Structure 1
Amino acid sequence: MTHTPVLGIIGGGIRGSLFARSIQENNAAQLGALCDPRPLARANASAAFGVPAFATVDEMIAAVPELTAAVIATPDFAHRDAAVLCASNGLDLMVEKPLATNTADARAIVDAAKNAGTRIMVGFENRWNPRFNIVHSLLHEADHGQILNQIGNLNDTLFVPTTMLSWAAKSSPAWFLMPHSLDLAIWLGGALPVEVHAVGVKKMLPAMKIDTWDAITATFTMSDGSYVVLNSSWVLPTSAPAVYDFRYEIQTTRGAFHIDGANHGVTHYSSDRLTWEQWGVLERGGRISGVPVDMVNDFVELLLGTKSDLPDAADGLLVTQAIEAVHESLEKNRAVTIAS
């Protein structure tokens, strides 16, 4: 007999609330509790979703013993403690990307899950993006030759590090953005990163008292001899048509692909600016749909044993190791071998 998964959400912000609603709208799962250290966030989440909300993960696990899984939607640097505690208590995990912001934390999460016999899915959203799914199918279902290179430009406007994130100084364009594009490159190409040489600039954000990188370019040598160049910055002007810019290119021995991930096809001209309308999540008839909702639904299918081809602990650990190597390369100003 298959039991209905009961999930707890760790983190009551925008993403945590989105995941909570996704679970409540999934008929095969149940939302059991939420957790957030901020009193107002807890009160709002509890009122919105009609479930108890707790200040700590310990309290949530003790008070709701029927929990079978947890979604980690805390800030990137704060994944380890929540994930290790949940895994150690037998909960399967869906963890927002990156799995962690250093290899030690990532290994601690992976080891806790391995010791407890629980599963990890990492939220690399591009694997659910229909545009990239089409490219993945084309690359793997037809003979497009060998991949020569992949080039990804994934950038945010200044709004993200100055207004959206209160913890930007604890992150970087590489930690916040490159896990998306690097996992995408690995998934599309089927090769692993073995070496990286990165360069970056620190000017605008440090001048604004946010001690992190403005822009980073990382060139990865892949295990099949191809290369991947990823450019990520946090300093696009806020007048840009969307809060992010995402352009991706793949060259093979028999052709090329160009994918625009930010322009969804609707350009809005107003009296003072041009805007690319975004609909990562759509609401229709009182229900939501979209890439992050699909991701949650697949996690539920994983819990039910009907889905397995999803980014897992090994994928999350590899990307964390690679992005940590990006920062090591920035510090040493040379190429760095990525730990395997």
Structure 2
Amino acid sequence: MLDIGVVGAGIRGRMFAQALGQLPDVRVVGVADPTPAGAELAAELGAAAHAGHEDLLAAHDLAGVVVATPDFAHRDAAVAVARAGIGLLVEKPLATDVKQAREIEAAVEGGGGPAMVAFENRWNPRFVTVRRQITDGAVGDVLFQCAHLNDTRFVPERMLSWAARTTPAWFLMPHTVDLALWLSGRTPSSVYATGLRRELARDGIDTYDGVHALVTFDDGTTLALQSHWVLPESYPSVFDFRYELVGSRAAVRVDGSDEGVHFAGPSLQWLHHSTVERDGRLVGVAAEIARDFAGLLRGEPVTAPTLAEGVAVTAVVAAVHESVTSGQVVRL
């Protein structure tokens, strides 16, 4: 039996806890979160509630821990888990600081258990299909990539209590940067970016409305990125996700927010089904990530995003922020 702890009882922590707890040889035995949400989730799972990761690690003999705290707060828990020799699943991004990301990686390499980063697009069937076309040679050389991943104002204004402590680039771009690196296999060499800080700041949330970035790879190919979170809430999905790739033999376009189920009630909604609950069990992407994490803990051969890849993504998004601030091209 694999005993698992969860640090962070927000949307992602709750989702991974439920997905792991439904596996036949896994028990979620502890939840660390100082807010009432932590005690609530622990009670639902029949697990112990803890105020912080230190208490969680001291109280249980754990095989693995999920770190799903806010994106700027991964380092301390992840390093502590790794130093205890326990397996680690970290929600994206690995960290919002390159030094902290490398500290997590070093702690794992220095004696930690197996580790992975939850870049969920790696499990999305649409992008798995695109990658197969690339690896089979149907696309040819990847020349240009463009990724739009945006949110409605609901996310910074009502979903995240900590929006002012992050940016749309940190919250959203790790998804698209990892996707582009995974699909193309390219190495980034430079970043140029611009950002706008206006509408949300006027409403008392001191963060960027949006960020645009151009990543140039070492072979001259490029990736254009857009992430903002000021779409009106009348948009039919809480997020807008579009990905385009042009290769020497073919082109690909993926609409990641319109999953084909349109619900017209008082307003039009695009219903999402990449992860859904059926008969009390999660099925879809979250369940697949949980299954692979459990497999990793058992020592099974699992293909999952590595901490080195997590560090690479953090380095690109950190360079995006440096370029926004300096107005200069940042070399990687």
**TM class by smaller structure:** over 0.9
Note the C-alpha offset of 1:273: 2.1
In the other structure, the counterpart of 2:124 is 129
Alignment partners' CA distance in 1, 2:280 and 2:46: 17
2-side partners of 1:248 and 1:126: how far apart? 12
Report the alpha carbon displacement of residue 77 of structure 1 after superposing the two structures with TM: 0.6
Cα drift, residue 122 of structure 1: 0.4
Equivalent residue letter for 2:291: N
1:267-293 CA deviation, whole Å, 9 max, x = no partner?
1222x4211112232122332111122
Give identity over the alignment, percent. Answer: 44
Q: Of residues 304, 307, 310 in structure 2, which corresponds to 1:316? A: 310
- Paired residues in the alignment total 332
1:14 maps to 2:20: no
> What is the distance in 2 between the residues matched to 1:42 and 1:173?
25
Question: How do residues 136-151 of structure 1 correspond to structure 2 at under 5 angstroms?
Answer: 136-151=131-146
RMSD: 1.2
- Gap regions ≥5 residues in structure 1: none
Q: Map Cα deviations across residues 298-324 of structure 1 (whole Å, 9 max, x no partner).
A: 111111121332101100101111111
Displacement of 1:186 after TM fit?
A: 0.3
Runs of 4+ in structure 1 deviating by more than 3 angstroms, as ranges, are none
Which of residues 177, 185, 190 in structure 1 aligns to 2:180? 185
Say whether 1:276 aligns with 2:273: no
| 1:65-214 alignment, distance < 5 Å | 66-214=61-209
Task: Output the TM-score relative to the length of structure 1.
Answer: 0.95
Distance 1:308 1:129 in 2: 16
- The question of 1:240 aligning with 2:235 is answered yes
SS across alignment from 2:230: coil
2:30 to 33, 44, 53: 33
Measure, in 2, the Cα distance between the counterparts of 1:190 and 1:35. Answer: 36
Report the residue type matching 1:219 in the other structure: L
Amino acid at match of 1:27: P
- What is the TM-score when the length of structure 2 is the normalising length? 0.97
CA drift of 1:86 comes to 1.0
1:55 equivalent to 2:51? Answer: yes
Q: Does 1:264 align with 2:259?
A: yes
The letter of the residue matching 1:211 is: D
1:247, distance to aligned residue in structure 2 (A): 0.6
Deviation at 1:225, TM superposition (A): 2.1
Q: Which moved more, 1:224-233 or 1:142-151?
A: 142-151
Task: Tell me which moved more, 7-16 or 277-286.
Answer: 277-286
Name the SS for the 1:45 alignment partner: helix
Whole-angstrom distance in 1 between the partners of 2:168 and 2:307: 22
- Contact 1:298 1:307 (8 Å CA) reproduced: no
Check whether the contact 1:155–1:236 (CA below 8 A) recurs between aligned residues.
Answer: yes
